[in-house]
Structure 1
Amino acid sequence: MYRPQRAIVLILCLMACTSAYCLEVTDVNFPIRDGGVVTFSHNKHLQTPAIGDNCNICHEHFFKTKRIRPVTMAEMARGRSCGGCHNGRRAFPLSDCGKCHPTRDLTFKIPGGDQVLFSHTPHTSRFRCTDCHTRIYGYGRAQRPVSMDEMGRGRSCGACHGQSAFSLFSCNRCHQKSYDASYRVVPTGPVTFSHGPHAKLPGCGACHPHLFNKGKNRPSSMMEMEKGRSCGACHTGRRAFDLNDCSRCHMAGKIVMKVKGSTPVTFPHAPHTAKYGCTDCHPRLFRLGYVKQRGITMEQMDQGKSCGACHDDTTAFNTRFNCHRCHDM
């Protein structure tokens, strides 16, 4: 056999022998309890100068090629498994958790329809994972919800926010939406409080916790508000509209009154509140509320009672000869 032919045969034999020892390397996924899925890339490690293509560096010392027992982070910290290299000298330290463990945004549902979005990204860019885990938070979803009161005492987010980060009272930095709160007021019907316009002007800290605690509060009467409690701290006519401007908060709609021996009467608040204040009628002429009022006769109105206090043909049209203006005919 000629020498060139021998050389070709030898090369083919070497290629066949080499291919017999080639192994396909793939990414390996490790599901971690409470820590997501960690993906180990063989290719990234084989491309590092310290390892090159020498698989034995890891597979003779740290990992057997067959299935092995999972290793904890505590064991890695003692040099087992990944900890053999990831010690901060040969490779990045184990405390750099985000390099291996996936971090994601977390959404917390808050009673009342609100929700808080927690993003790991701005936190891991400034702090280490061990600054929070597990001293402040355990790993995983099974965490007990923490109230704002507890945060104010240094629990959960309160360990940093209010001390080394923005205040807990910068509510809109975390809370994605401010919800409307509805208060059931027996005399006048429900009052709806909208956080939106209030949060834009003075800010959350102007009311919480100086005037209102987080969560459910004891109802305050109008008399208490007039003494500066609750809404009355601002609604004085100077900082915000006066408490006497009742219709700004209290619902004033149409009231249908049944009349014995005649057709019903519909009383519309709108044309009256456009010209007069609520206190012009309440409670001097009419008690507040949906409680049943004592019936008033036309004769009593002629004497200045009830509607007759204004409907006297001087201040407003006369009740006696303008029946169709009130009675549904």
Structure 2
Amino acid sequence: MTKKILVLHTGGTISMQADGSGAVVTNADNPMNHVTVPLEGIETEAVDFFNIPSPHITPQHMLKLYQKIKASADQFDGVVITHGTDTLEETAYFLDTMQLPKIPVVLTGAMRSSNELGSDGVYNYLTALRVASDEKASDKGVLVVMNDEAHAAKYVTKTHTTNVSTFQTPTHGPLGLIMKQEILYFKTAEPRVRFDLNSISGLVPIIPTYAGMKTELLDMLDLDKIDGLIIEAFGAGNLPKEVAGKLADMIADGLPVALVSRCFNGIAEPVYAYEGGGVQLHQAGIFFVKELNAQKARIKLLIALNAGLKDQELRDYMEG
């Protein structure tokens, strides 16, 4: 039986070419549209949905992708989105929190442009098509497929500026492996709250912490212009005492504040009871976000606020 796959091109390195000087530039004619798909039983319908570098991607673009998938799902057996790698994990996570139809949704990209030596774009694209046409992928949540690995959108992150194996899943490892003749899955996506948003707006900045940090960065924030805040804390979730005090005041003024660890592996949790330690921060009302990095915690808080979550309901969702 032939599987029909919707392909949504959004731009990124996978669609770009290096010019004579070696600089990688946006290409009006997406090279992936000229790829002959040598995969039996797969039919594709490609749409040049966007053509922008992924640093230009916004939550509004992510929402448009969701709406397109939702509107088209009954005509297709799976979806592949080609995307720039810089913000690919954020788009993947955004889509994974939406009420998508139960068909495989796969994001892929490239670390080398289409005319560079050793370009990985075509291979990743064809591999993504294989996964999107696999019925076993339909209960795995949104997947990121690159370099013969399938990663869960919730956990995957870009770990290297140029390496083709840049996408990794800290702590957990990949969800599956794409082999020559079959696809192996080790896990399924865990149940989670999903939303059906019609619009998205708001400003949620990310503030990193560092040794010797005082309150200067926080003092620059206009509380009337931001809707929430993500703080990237030390270790298991600790802050300089001055920062902790300032955040407590901001929370008292009604600002939702969520915390993640700046560590590459592990989970933030309120363990330490000293001034600025996680116990004190949690008691002050800071949300401890499990297993997400800062950029995904920002997406999570933004979605929750746009869904109208407040008070205990908001805390339960952010810490769930």
TM-score strictly above 0.5: no
TM-score with structure 2 setting the length: 0.22
TM-score with structure 1 setting the length: 0.21
Q: Which structure has the larger Rg?
A: 1
Of structures 1 and 2, the one scoring higher in RCO (CA 8 A, sep 6+) is 2
